[in-house]
Amino acid sequence: MSKKLWGGRFKESINDLVDRFNESLSFDRRLYAQDIRGSIAHSRMLAKQGIISDNDASRIIDGLTEAKREMDRKNHLDSDLEDVHSLIEKVLVAKVGAAGEKMHTARSRNDQVALDMRMYVRDAVTRVINLIKEMQRVLIDLAEKNIDLIMPGYTHLQPAQPVLVAHHLMAYYEMLKRDKQRFYEDLKRVNVLPLGSAALAGTTFDLDREMVADELGFDSISKNSMDAVSDRDFVIEYIFAGSVLMMHLSRLSEEMILWSTQEFGIINLPDAFCTGSSIMPQKKNPDILELIRGKTGRVYGHLISLLTVMKGLPLTYNKDMQEDKESLFDTVDTVEDCLSVITLLLKEVSFNGDTMKQACEKGYLMATDLADYMVVNGSTFRQAHDAVGKIVLYAIDNKKELHELKLEEMKQFSKHIKKDVFKWLEPASAIKRRNLLGGTGSRAVLECIKQAKMEINS
Ligand code: ARG
């Protein structure tokens, strides 16, 4: 068993099971690049402040730079050390001797791990924002490509009114826009330097925290050392933003699963994103979309898990907080994978325009438009609603759709119906009448697409 950083005070060595239970290297090794970058900035600052010599600092920096190169090639990672911080210090001391033992001056693992996590989340936020943008681009393209297609819009999963496929797709663009804002919001709070807080109370050494903040690209410096080493809000916020994003991806997945069923039949999923059955030769199953829907659950789980870990912790650092890592890392992996895979899939889906058009002609989707027509012709909306309700009932009894009724049949229910009604009853005309801001009219949707293209490049 390797020597502990804190071994001095102990008579007995740690129990094997406890050692395994306590260790975090198996998962926090992911932080090595951030850890090394932080240590380099810290050492440079220690030298500038005269706390260590320039010579020691340059040996530390060279040693860390070399360690980083080796770790990039996966060396030194299989070790029985307690955590990534112990590992890097050990590797460094093996390379540069006593100088390496000075690196941890004026620092604790508590502010060190807070720093590493902040740098990790900062990188993860940048990546996820780029992935969201890429998915938005694909949605915009798909909307533009299918700008003429009309599909049934649903409420309660019952046919409601015709909408443009492009309008439906652009709804997801809007959701993703909010997701992006949530991640940007997290970034503001992530980008605060905790280093210099040491274990909890700050340090007796005269540090230049601004210098470290500048070198590491932090916008500001933590104001309270006790808060800085206890705070994991920024991790929770990443997982929260990830949870809402996953909820959106899950809803889109659910819709595509439904749309690809034989019953809906309005979308074709690419073969490369589906799987077959080991027994039923005819099957083409939307497993990838189901997995995205399913993986949403684990991200929600991580959110609740970390909120629960934090809720009873007295200030300041407690080992419970080590539990933040697996939750965060799994969330990052899940969110990035799901975004990447759904973006690829969206590039290859196609819509069945004819099926969608036929679906718009069944199920009385034009009933609201018929009521609006009567209002234009002098009825009150309430009267018109009632009359159309009766017309729909009559049509159902006679096994007809609205446009299949004769003018005389309709006229029995309202004096506000004339022969131009049949033009109103075409789904395409329902779309044309909805060019108000935010509506499903082609002009309105094209305007949104235009704005979206500008937004995304800004
Ligand atoms: N592995 C620890 C964590 O992830 C590092 C900090 C350890 N600090 C301590 N005081 N034991 O939280």
Q: Over the chain, what is the mean pLDDT?
A: 95
Please say if 156 is a catalytic residue: yes
Q: Which helix (H) or strand (E) holds 152?
A: strand 150-155
In testing the pocket of ligand 1, which one of 30, 83, 310 has its CB within 8 Å of the most ligand atoms? 83
pLDDT at position 447 is 97
pLDDT at position 125 is 98
Pairing of strands 150-155, 220-221: unpaired
Residue 321 near ligand 1, beta carbon < 6 Å: yes
Residue 232 near ligand 1, beta carbon < 6 Å: no
Per the structure block, which two tokens stand in for 398? 């006679």
Residue 109 near ligand 1, beta carbon < 6 Å: yes
Q: How far is the CA of 107 from the centre of ligand 1 (A)?
A: 13
Contacts of 100-103 with CB under 8 Å at 24 or more apart are: 100/59, 100/60, 100/63, 102/46, 102/52, 102/56, 102/60, 103/39, 103/42, 103/43, 103/60
Please report, as a single letter, which amino acid is at residue 82.
E
Please report, as a single letter, which amino acid is at residue 153.
G
pLDDT at position 223 is 98
Helix or strand or coil: residue 145?
helix
- DSSP-assigned letters across all residues of 411-426: HTT-TT--TTHHHHTS
pLDDT at position 402 is 95
CA distance 396 to 403: 12
Pairing of strands 150-155, 158-164: antiparallel
Residue 24 near ligand 1, beta carbon < 6 Å: yes
- Beta partners for 268? 350
Please say if 277 is a catalytic residue: yes
- Are 239 and 246 spatial neighbours (Cβ–Cβ below 8 Å)? no
Domains of the chain (ranges; CATH) run 7-105 (1.10.275.10), 110-358 (1.20.200.10), 360-456 (1.10.40.30)
Residue ranges of the chain with pLDDT lower than 50?
Answer: none
pLDDT at position 78 is 65
In testing the pocket of ligand 1, which one of 5, 18, 24, 316 has its CB within 8 Å of the most ligand atoms? 24
pLDDT in tens, 393-442: 999 999 999 999 999 999 999 999 999 999 999 999 999 999 999 999 99
Share of the chain above pLDDT 70, in %: 99
Q: The tokens 């965060």 sit on which residue?
A: 328
pLDDT at position 76 is 58
Q: How far is the CA of 200 from the centre of ligand 1 (A)?
A: 13
pLDDT at position 77 is 63
Residue 79 near ligand 1, beta carbon < 6 Å: no
CA distance 81 to 3: 8
pLDDT at position 12 is 80
Q: How far is the CA of 32 from the centre of ligand 1 (A)?
A: 14
pLDDT in tens, 161-174: 999 999 999 999 99
pLDDT at position 1 is 59
